[in-house]
Each structure stands twice: as structure tokens, then as C-alpha cells.
Amino acid sequence: MSFRNVLKLLFNIRRTILLFILICSIFFLVLFLSSVNIEVILYALLLSSFIGIVILVVYLYKGVKHLNYLESVLNQPNFQMDQLPESYHLFEEEYQQILSKVMQEHQSSLNDSMNKYNDLMDITTLWAHQIKTPISAMRLLLQTNEIEENQSIKEELFEIEKYVSMLLGYYRLNSETNDFVIRKVQCEPIIRSIIREYAKFFIRKKIQIELENINITVLSDEKWLSFVIEQVLSNALKYTSEGKIKISSENETTLIIEDTGIGIQVEDLPRIFEKGYTGFNGRRDKKSTGLGLYLCKMILSKLGHSIEINSTVNKGTIVKIHLDGISIKDN
């Protein structure tokens, strides 16, 4: 028996016990005042005490057993109402009915919220896919007239596409299913493809790109790994106005992206992976969403990888993407 539960039960019936003692005391007092033989009184006292103790022990045994079962059910992660034992008394039955009603209302509210979320996700995903069509059409129109103003517009369109991709990535990661395809991935083709995509930005800002020992093969998801590398490289390019960006590897399983940019404030470093946190640089740039590094952290965590960032203001930032583990994790 659980001593704590025994105390609970005794406290619960304390008034009944006191009432029983009071009635017995009055009964024996009346017998005593009626000049009844003392032996008869003692016999009645012993018999009453024995019956009372037996009833109390039986009550405590059944009560503790009932409480222990209730505690085991309530401690289960996926509690269901049909797991509750038969009501011990009338009040408990009423409480169970109230609890059942509350849980039904909660489940109904949860289902409504989930349906609304799914509807919003479907609409947003559809919008994100459809908006890519006019963006592509605008790019084709701009290519027919290569003037400097058009180049600026194309760069803005590129930024819009990047934000749309980020939005789609966020919704896909938070969906109930994922589309991870785990296999051996060569990092060099991914990196070179991203660099070609951002080549015009490197040229316009006169930023040197340096590649060193990037011909490594890791076990990961190619699409999502490409997304992470692009986000990190895009950040490095955004906050680097002169100098170079270097991409290298370490221990055959760690990608390193270094830049000579403005760096990250010391007070911002502990929070750079928080959703929506832009920090000093993001507030100054006014174009940061605070989602890029958050998504990178989430993606890598789901893949069993990790990321770390070290930075010095006005000297640059070093990002290390550790790809040495693979373990698909649920949402």
C-alpha cells in the first residue's frame, strides 16, 4: 500500500471516523449510566472496535488499490477516458462525467484548430507555388532588355523567390509528414550550383569566393542540405561588403563557411537560432525575416546534424555544419 494514499483516504473519511467514535462513546456512556454490567460494556466495545477496524482496513485496501490504478492511468502519455476504472462512489462518477465532457469539448476545439491550420497551410502553399509563375514571367521580360535598372529589379525578384522558398520550407517542415530522402550526397556539386546561382551578387559586390577541400560525401538529404547551405551562404554574402567568403571542410564531415563581413554582436549570438529573431544586423538591414537560421537549425536537427556559429564584430563569421550523424526525427 502507498502510505501517501492511505493518508489521503484517512483524511477523506476523517469526519466519518469521528462520527463513529462519537456515536459509540454516547452508546457506551448510556450503557454505563444504566448500570449495565461492565463486562458487557467491554465486550460490546471490543466487538464494535473489531468491526470498525475490519471495515476500515477493507475500505483502505480497496481505496488505495483504486487510487494507485488511477495514478497509473493519469501518468500515461496518451490518456483515454475508457481507461478509467469503474466509479468508486457517486461523486467520482459525477466527476468522471464532467471530465469526459470537458475532454470531448477540448478534442472538438483541437480538431477545429487543426482543420483551420491545414486550410491555412494549403492556401499559403498554393499561393507560394502560384506566385512563382508571374515572377518567372517577369524575369523573362526583363531579360529582353538588359539595362541597369532591370538588373536591380531582377535582384529584387531573386530575393522574393528566396523568401517564397523559405516560406514553403517552413510549412513543409511543420507538416505531419516529411519528404526526406536519405542517401550519400556529394557536397561539391551542391556548393558549386549555389555559387553559380549567386554569381551576379559576388561580381557586383566584388566578393572573392574561395573553395578548399569541399569534395566530401556525407549521408544526408540532398534537397534540404542544399537549402541549408544556400541560407548560410546567402547570409554571408548579405553581410559581407568586401573581402572574401571561404568554403572548406574539416574531418570529412564538417562544412565550414567563413566570411569577412560585419560579424554578429556578442549579445545576439545566443539567440540567432530563435524563430523571428533578427538581432542588431537584421534590424539595421530591415530585410531580415529571422527565419533563415531558425529553419537551418530545425532541418539539421531533424536530420541528426548540427550547426554552430562563431563571430567577431567587424572581422567576420565562421559557420560550421556538422554532418557526422544521421537520425531522422519526427516533428
Residue 39 confidence class, pLDDT cut points 50, 70, 90? confident
pLDDT at res. 139: 66
Give 135 or 204, the one with higher predicted confidence: 204
* Cα 239 to Cα 52, 152, 259, 284, distances in angstroms: 82, 18, 9, 11
In the predicted model, is pLDDT for residue 55 greater than 50?
yes
Identify the top-confidence range among 31-45, 129-143, 214-228: 214-228
Please tell me what DSSP assigns to residue 252: T
Average pLDDT, the chain: 79
Report the predicted TM-score, pTM, of the whole model to 2 decimal places.
0.60
pLDDT digits (tens, 9 = 90+) for 177-226: 667 888 999 999 999 999 998 898 898 889 999 999 999 999 999 989 99
Q: Where are the domains of the chain?
A: 3-85, 182-331
In the predicted model, is pLDDT for residue 1 greater than 60?
no
CATH ID of 182-331, from 1.20.1640.10, 3.30.1330.60, 3.40.50.10300, 3.30.565.10: 3.30.565.10
Q: What does the pLDDT average to over 142-158?
A: 65
In the predicted model, is pLDDT for residue 116 greater than 80?
no
- Say if residues 312 and 259 touch (Cβ distance below 8 Å): no
- The C-alpha cell of 6 is what? 492511505
- Say if residues 208 and 226 touch (Cβ distance below 8 Å): no
pLDDT digits (tens, 9 = 90+) for 57-94: 887 777 777 777 777 766 776 666 565 666 656 556 66
**Strands, E, within the chain: which ranges?**
182-186, 208-212, 217-221, 244-250, 254-259, 306-312, 316-322
Distance CA 275, CA 317 (A): 20
Give 62 or 298, the one with higher predicted confidence: 298
